[in-house]
Amino acid sequence: MAPRLLAKALDTALDRTVVPGFSKIGYAVRRHLPTWPADPAPGVLDGKHVVVTGATSGLGEATAYQLSRLGAHVHLVVRNAEKAARIAATLPGPSTTWVCDLGDLDSVRECAAALLADGPPLDAIVHNAGAMPATRTESPQGHELSMSIHVLGPVLLTDLLLPKLAGREARVVLVTSGGMYAQALPVEDPDYERGEYAPPTAYARSKRTQVELLPVLGERWAPADIAVYVMHPGWAATPGVTESLPTFDKLMGPILRDADQGADTTTWLVGAQPRPRGGGLWMDRAERPTAYFGRNGATSDERQRMWQWVADAAGVTP
């Protein structure tokens, strides 16, 4: 027991000090602790079908490759079919490409209809697609684009695909960001219509929304036997970080995780047996606090109000 207690204490210390825990230092230390869970078994996803959104670069590309290596048939849900073809050629297993813009709810509905008509039963969805617009940008439906891509699109796509997911002990993973710790749930201004627009703030607000809606989504999709997770990849070197946060990338570059390290916990959540308990925020194969010292955490009433807005905006029954 003593080594495991010490390992948990070290893990917690890494988490609370942020920089070591979120960087490749934390990943390297944790994977050598006795509390590190075993890797998914080779071939554990043979015959399984997994959707990965935003699979043409960064964490999405790494996730698609890792899942394919475990035997999954990976369904690449992407905006650019040509980029998807390049990724598909590198995967060790079969894949199918579906064109979809997660920020456009009409495109989401079209993609879901195609998957329902022609796709197989699904065992998992990884919502990895992301964006950080340099200026306030609206989706075709008039919503702030970060919120549309990170929250509205994933909720709608999952809801529409429930017939393909139900009864299969399916798993849904939303990829979040550590930036959400710095923001509260934007209940009063979900579309960021007030004040001066700041891209990192918009991004973090949408990611906080993902985290705070976990209890609601978990309850909503539980009758279909779906476990829902939010996964924090730590600080990873991806094209999105380089393009959107060049100063952060330059300062933290030497200690940023690579894409494979950032995607590790997503792959583990999809492949681990037995299925991990749903409903948590995960990083480095362990559940993490959704807020530190109560800062920026949401109340149950705030979650319900935010969910009502999301349901109305996405066009689903709340």
Catalytic residues: 203
DSSP H or E stretch at residue 214: helix 214-221
How far, in Å, CA of 253 to CA of 239, rounded?
Answer: 12
Taking the C-alpha atoms of residue 87 and residue 104, their distance in angstroms, rounded to an integer, is 23
Residue 190 to residue 211: CA distance in whole angstroms: 14
Residue 182, CA distances (Å) to 26, 204, 206, 297 in order: 20, 7, 12, 10
- Rounded to a whole number, what is the distance in angstroms from the first to the last CA of the chain? 45
Instruction: Provide the token pair at 267.
Output: 């792959």
Tell me which residue of 173, 130, 178 sits closest to 20, measured CA to CA.
Answer: 178
CA distance 271 to 45: 7
Phi, psi of 239 (to 5 degrees): -55, -35
DSSP single-letter state for residue 202: H
How far are the Cα atoms of 33, 48, 244, 257, 262 from residue 238, in angstroms, in the given order?
26, 27, 10, 9, 9
Sheet of strand 281-283, all strands in order from the earlier edge strand to the far edge: 95-99, 73-78, 49-53, 124-127, 170-175, 226-231, 281-283, 286-288
Measured between alpha carbons, how far is 210 from 147 in angstroms, rounded to an integer? 9
Query: Closest Cα partner for 73 from 99, 53, 98, 45?
Result: 45
